[in-house]
Amino acid sequence: MTTLAYLLLVTLGGYGLAVVEEWSSSGRWRPSAPLLRSVALLARESLSPRLLDRKLFEAAPPLLLVAGVLSMAVLPLAPGVVPVELATGALWLNAALVYVAVALLMAGWGPDAAYPMVAGFRFLGQFVAYAMLVVMPITAVAMRASSLVVGDIITSQATLWNALLQPLGFAVFLLAAMAICYLPPFDQPVAPGELAGGVVGEYTGARLVVMRLARLVLVLSLALAVTVFYLGGWLGPLLPAPAWSVLKTLAVAGAMLAVGRYLPRLRTDWPLEWGWKVGIPLALLNIFWVGVVLLVADL
């Protein structure tokens, strides 16, 4: 029952997010557009490039979707409403998200084409940039909760949200989350301007539906992760717990989607340079800060 409720909420939230994404790219509200576009895509031909690494080309879309789904599987919407309450939930999230990089690299290599190739390897560079910046803030959050169980992390924020206690970690994790789901301005792998579609450029028909759906699931999952780790998850007065989760998640996801329209795409070396020269020291400082606070104040 709870898994069904979870699935329903996630599907509704995901569809709402698709409508928001449609608005951010075209500027108008079309509630039926995502469904119609997906259906239309299924009706189109699914082409395969001439010379391709069949296994990599075919495996990339399902792998991307599986990575997104599995990463969401440990994130609760309400106490007990979660597919699996893993003892190492926070670690599992990171482990599942690694496969995003693998899938995009496979998608880039598969078609034996120049644009996807460059795009795939660029995403690998982005991965090297954001990978540590995902793990370190999660560590700091787990320190406060003394546990990797995601439910415990949420309940540990009952007194004060982590976004206020660990603002550095919040900022770093939010940016890293945008980089993982390759939202603009981090959209190197699917750059429509620079690389004519990038890794998704050679996918058509059903495979393109899966790639786009996978990206949507990733955005949703990461927005939920930000909510759960930093914004108190289901905690909040008056409204029932799932409502708070959904509201916060959609707000975070909307913010993540909206930012990209107003910024130019980052140069390839900027995430790497800034991530390692600024991001890592800040994340380490964040861990140190949380350590000191926990010793002194026991929040």
The two tokens of residue 40 are 């239309």
Task: Name the DSSP class of 182.
Answer: T
Number of residues near other proteins (by CB under 8 A)? 107
Cβ proximity to other proteins: between 150 and 244 the closer is: 150
Q: Find the binding residues for other proteins in span 64-103 (CB under 8 A).
A: 65-66, 69-70, 73, 83-88, 91
Query: Which CB atom, from 6 or from 244, has the smaller least distance to other proteins?
Result: 6
User: What are the residues facing 78 on neighbouring strands?
Assistant: 81
Which residue in the set 15, 19, 49, 161 belongs to the binding site for other proteins (CB under 8 A)?
49
Give the residue, chosen from 5, 8, 12, 40, that forms a contact with other proteins under the rule CB under 8 A. Answer: 40
Nearest to 230 by CA among 280, 290, 271: 290
- Shortest distance, CB of residue 77 to other proteins, whole angstroms? 16
Instruction: Find out whether 77 and 69 touch, Cβ atoms under 8 Å.
Output: no
Q: Does 297 bind other proteins (CB under 8 A)?
A: no
Instruction: Examine residue 237 and tell whether it contacts other proteins (CB under 8 A).
Output: no
- Which residues, 142 to 171, sit near other proteins by CB under 8 A? 142-143, 146-148
- Is residue 48 within the footprint of other proteins (CB under 8 A)? yes
CB 180 within 8 A of CB 124: no
178 in helix, strand or coil?
Answer: helix
Q: Which of 19, 243, 247, 294 binds other proteins (CB under 8 A)?
A: 294
Check whether the bond before 240 is cis (ω within 30° of 0).
no
Supply the minimum distance, in Å, between the C-beta of residue 237 and other proteins.
27
- Residues 186-215 interacting with other proteins (rule: CB under 8 A): 187, 191-194, 196-197, 201-210
Which residues within the stretch 264-283 sit at the binding site for other proteins (CB under 8 A)? 264-269, 272-273, 276-277, 280-281
100-110 as b/e: b if 16+ CB within 10 A: bbbbbbbbbbb
Do 45 and 205 touch, CB atoms closer than 8 A?
yes
**Short-list 129, 144, 158, 153, CA closest to 273:** 129
Does 23 participate in binding other proteins (rule CB under 8 A)? no
Instruction: Return the number of the residue (217 or 252) whose C-beta is nearest other proteins.
Output: 217
Tokens coding 214: 């996978």
Map residue 78 onto helix, strand or coil. Answer: strand
Stretch that binds other proteins, among 161-169, 173-181, 183-191, 229-237 (CB under 8 A): 183-191
The conformation of residue 81, written as its DSSP 8-state character, comes to: B
**Between 5 and 114, CB nearer to other proteins:** 114
Q: How many CB atoms lie within 10 A of CB 204?
A: 16
User: Considering beta carbons, is residue 68 or 248 the nearer one to other proteins?
Assistant: 68
Task: Decide if residue 50 touches other proteins (CB under 8 A).
Answer: yes
Q: Which segment (21-29, 157-165, 219-227, 236-244) binds other proteins by CB under 8 A?
A: 21-29
Which residue's CB is nearer to other proteins, number 103 or number 244? 103
The DSSP 8-state label assigned to residue 184 in this structure reads: T
Rounded-to-integer distance, Cα 222 and Cα 174, Å: 9
Continuous segment of H or E residues that includes residue 62: helix 54-72
Q: Which is nearer to other proteins, 235 or 293 (CB)?
A: 293
The contact mask relative to other proteins for 98-137 (x = CB under 8 A, - = no) is -----------x-xxxxxxxx--xx-xx--xx-xx--xx-
Cα separation, 172 vs 191, whole angstroms? 23
